[in-house]
Chain A
Amino acid sequence: MRLPASYPMALLAALITLTPIYVLITLASDTSSVFDSHNLDILANTLSLMALTVLGSILIGVPLAFISAYVHLPFKKLWLVIFAAPLAIPSYIGAFTLYAAFGPGGEINNLLGIPTPSMDGLSGAAIVMTLYTFPFVMMTTRSSLLSLDASMVNAARTLGMSMTQSVFKVILPRVVNGIAAGSLLVALYTLSDFGTPAMMRLDTFTRVIYVEYNAFALGRAAMLSLQLMVIVGFLLMIESQIKTATERQGRPLILFPKKWQLSAMFITFAPILLLAIGLPLAIFSLWLARDGFSGFDFSIAWNSTYASAIAAVVAVIVAIPVAHAALSGKAGKVMERVTYFGFGIPGIVMGTALVYGGLQLPFLYQTLGLLIIAYTLRFLPLAVGSVRTSTEHLDPSLVKSARVLGASPREAFMRITLPLTMRGIIAGAALVFLESMRELEATLLLGPTGFETLSTYLWRVYEAGYFGRAAIPGLLLVVISACALAIMLTGEKRNQLEH
């Protein structure tokens, strides 16, 4: 048996993504475990937050995926961009604005006189995390839904099952894979995020890590992060157990909604999207109006854009062999799984680990190059996931056909596989782009000195309490990200025509 050609590259990628973990292990090596019983309720909080967020993301993401995949809507693409837009907003910014807007004495109360419940604690944190992570579930579920053949729903209906019931009994069980893939990303994001639970006054594992970190007990922070990795490992295992039968692709369902159904959908989901995107922008604008415009250096937006764009390109280049390895065998699957760890490490710990790693490469240290490597390590799973799905759907006889027409494996890859999986590649690139745009810690610690991005700028003015100054960069972040999403969707459209 010859090894699949993608293995060496995938192995390399997996090993590189393991370097941060290796650094954590060396940092933690002189530390005894700091997991005491007191941490148990923190662990409980963490797991509850994770569970609630995953649940919330499924409750919002799956219906939206369903709508965007099956329901015949005017301006379909635009809706999709809007549904995915929350990914463009750093969750700590969302958390902060929601906190500021809600509750007695919040901005909504001040301006409109409507009393609103305050956003805090477990429920508040879960709501905020849900608002900023459900697009992960939406995107993965949507692509699963699009690959389903409609005939099974038709069969169920002719067997006397109503449409609504069919959705639950016939459609959803078949996209469990897609839902699980998205939920995994949500769970990892929730595990690694610090800002939101902290802002919502919820004690989670990351907070313990931050406390140790800020007390300069880097070893302990590393040790705790490693413990977090155990949870990540469990999640990866659980997710890989979830399997649905692979199906032949077919013509997807198209539903023509009635007027009242359209209104119902709008009434249900408009508030969610307004909350996730509208509210932060509105609050920032409000503060902008209060503080007055004090100038903004637009080159910062450019920094963000090109660094993220390069990261997106690099990430998909690395993701391609990893995705192919995952499809070629068991070992490859393991390599692919390994790349997910980077997504679950808290940002600041990851940032520091990469400082240690980066210092081994002095020529790269504090250059854009290292920053891009860092983005790639953190967000590789996003790219791998979507490249893998699109490759799974590629008809193997196309490559064979190119081979017998005289193309070497390499040429067949370049001329056939690559262009035909472009949809997944572009989608993956867009996700990496979005996450890189809002990434903070690695950017602060690893970017070139003086290199400022929209998210570091947002952080800076937020820390300083100059919230009004967050309006313009916040808006830019959303607009640029929306453009990236739009590009991603045109890629998708072009590909649909071809099939």
Chain B
Amino acid sequence: ANIANPVSVDSLPKLEGELTLYLGRGEGGLYENVLQAIEKKNPNLKLGIRRGPTAALANTIVAEAKAGVRRADLFWAVDSGAIGLVTDAGLAQPIPSDLSAQLQPQFRYKEWTPVTGRIRTLPYNTSRLTKEQIPTSIMEIADSDLSIGWAPAYASFQSFVTAMRILEGDDKTAKWLKKIKKRSKTYAGELGVVMGVERGEVDIGFANHYYTLRLKSGKPDAKLDLAFTQNDAGCLVNASGVLALSDDPLATNFMRYLLSTEVQSYLASEAYEIPLVNGISVPQGIPSLSSISPPKIDLTQLADLRPTIDLMRSSGVL
């Protein structure tokens, strides 16, 4: 399909009026600058931001809808599960086609639009391993003798397990989980996983790519690098996304800003997120999207968390 070229903010309509954004999960610290820049560019925009854990905001949006109250115009979430909850509740407004046309085809959805991507990666400790020692298949890792750090309670990990279930089936996934569990060390979040790898507590970890890049940017000599699997859930590209809850064109126009050249390149260079529009280079430290081979998966499917949680629990992982 054709991909429309990204637009510059200068050619976007000015935003005027009041807009309330529910901003899920904390990478907010990084998104903050983006939001500030948008506000600066549009002095007549009154942007209200509510930050909170993604799941909590999704629950809030559903609860508000049930009570017949709508406070949020936009919901920007880092996790597609939360987006699924809101779209399944029928609360999201359709995305204009010219907007989704700017995205790569596999990232076009009717009711929401991804903003940036994040890849599942295998951070590893460079003083304990070389890249060659790491299997390129996620399933094989279960049979290796590497010690592993993971954060099974973390939403992105669960999305990854969902992807594995879809690609490999429940049985294989359950076996994989059980095997990994034997050699794993559990962390609260994937930042913890990456820190654990860097300290040498474990050989490798399962984590979104940006944690490694951020840690290395603060500590360039960190004994840490990224490895990727190929063509399996291990290098799933997931996305943070935004959806509109009000039919006010202002909300849609705000989304356009998020997909603008400037915002996308800022997110890539500063937040180490993967741009999903054309012509923006990926953050330093990871190969370009075309050089890695993520699995083909409809991200909306990942919202179906329930069976994953049950599987993980019955495998004794949760």
Q: Which residues of A are at the interface with B, using a C-beta cutoff of 8 A? A: 38, 99-100, 103-106, 118, 195, 198-201, 203, 207-208, 210-218, 290-291, 348, 351-352, 355-356, 359-360, 362, 365-366, 441, 444-445, 449-450, 452, 456, 459-466, 469
Contacts and interface: CB of A to CB of B under 8 A. Distances in A.
Nearest to A467: B218
14 contacts: A103-B201, A208-B318, A214-B153, A214-B158, A216-B59, A352-B56, A352-B59, A362-B67, A362-B69, A366-B50, A441-B56, A452-B51, A459-B26, A464-B30
Interface in B127-145: none
A429 to B, nearest CB: 28
B73 to A, nearest CB: 11
A450 B72 CA distance: 12
| Residue among B49, B64, B211 having the largest count of chain A Cβ atoms under 10 Å | B64
Contacts of B318: 208, 211
A465 B29 contact: yes
Given A215-B158, A459-B26, A348 B63 contact: no
Contacts of B26: 459-460, 462-464
B58 interface: yes
A461 B189 CA distance: 15
A213 B267 CA distance: 29
A449 B309 contact: no
B40 interface: no
B51 A460 contact: yes
A359 B63 contact: yes
A463 B25 contact: yes
B185 interface: yes
A366 B48 CA distance: 12
The 5 closest A-B pairs by CB, nearest first: A463-B26, A464-B29, A105-B199, A359-B67, A198-B188
Given A291-B218, A352-B60, A445-B52, A198 B81 contact: no
A211 B56 contact: no
B306 A215 contact: yes
Contacts of B185: 201
Contacts of A211: 153, 309, 318
B18 to A, nearest CB: 10
Nearest to A92: B188
A443 B214 CA distance: 28
Given A215-B158, A352-B59, 15 more contacts: A105-B198, A106-B199, A216-B55, A359-B63, A365-B69, A365-B71, A441-B56, A444-B53, A449-B20, A462-B26, A463-B28, A463-B29, A464-B26, A465-B29, A465-B191
A444 B198 contact: no
Contacts of B71: 365-366, 449
B109 interface: no
A106 B195 CA distance: 9
Contact of B27 (A118, A459, A464): A464
A450 B50 CA distance: 5
Interface of B: 20, 25-30, 32, 48-53, 55-60, 63-64, 66-67, 69, 71, 81-82, 85, 153, 155, 158, 185-189, 191-192, 195, 198-201, 211, 214-215, 218, 305-306, 308-309, 313, 316, 318
A435 B309 CA distance: 33
A348 B53 contact: yes
B188 A359 contact: no
A202 to B, nearest CB: 9
Nearest to B198: A105
Nearest to B60: A355
A217 B211 CA distance: 27
Contacts of A201: 185-188, 192
A461 B20 CA distance: 21
Contacts of B48: 449-450
Interface of A is mostly: helix
Interface of B is mostly: helix
Contacts of A210: 153
A359 B66 CA distance: 9
B137 to A, nearest CB: 27
Given A38-B316, A460-B29, A449 B50 contact: yes
Contacts of B49: 449-450
Contacts of B63: 352, 355-356, 359
A214 B155 contact: yes
B51 A456 contact: yes
Given A352-B63, A460-B26, A465-B214, A199 B153 contact: no
B59 A218 contact: yes
Given A463-B27, A465-B191, A198 B309 contact: no
Nearest to A290: B218
Contacts of B214: 465
A158 B30 CA distance: 68
Contacts of A100: 195
B55 A199 contact: no
Contacts of B187: 201
Contacts of A106: 199
A198 B186 CA distance: 9
Contacts of A356: 63, 67
Contacts of B186: 201, 203
B59 A104 contact: no
Contacts of A208: 318
Contacts of A452: 51
Given A201-B185, A214-B155, A460-B26, A465 B56 contact: no
A225 B236 CA distance: 33
Contacts of B55: 213-216
A205 to B, nearest CB: 13
A464 B56 contact: no
A105 B64 contact: no
| Residue among B27, B198, B211, B318 having the largest count of chain A Cβ atoms under 10 Å | B318
Contacts of B313: 38
Nearest to A104: B199
| Residue among B49, B55, B155, B201 having the largest count of chain A Cβ atoms under 10 Å | B55
Nearest to A39: B313
A444 B60 CA distance: 11
A445 B60 contact: yes
Given A104-B199, A450-B48, A212 B28 contact: no
A366 B50 CA distance: 10
A215 B69 contact: no
A290 B57 CA distance: 33
Contacts of B30: 464
Contacts of A118: 201
Nearest to A446: B60
A211 B151 CA distance: 11
A469 B27 CA distance: 14
A100 B195 CA distance: 9
Given A291-B218, A450-B50, A459-B26, A215 B188 contact: no
A466 B29 contact: yes
Contacts of A450: 48-50
| Residue among B59, B82, B211, B305 having the largest count of chain A Cβ atoms under 10 Å | B59
Nearest to B195: A100
Nearest to B66: A359
A491 B81 CA distance: 51
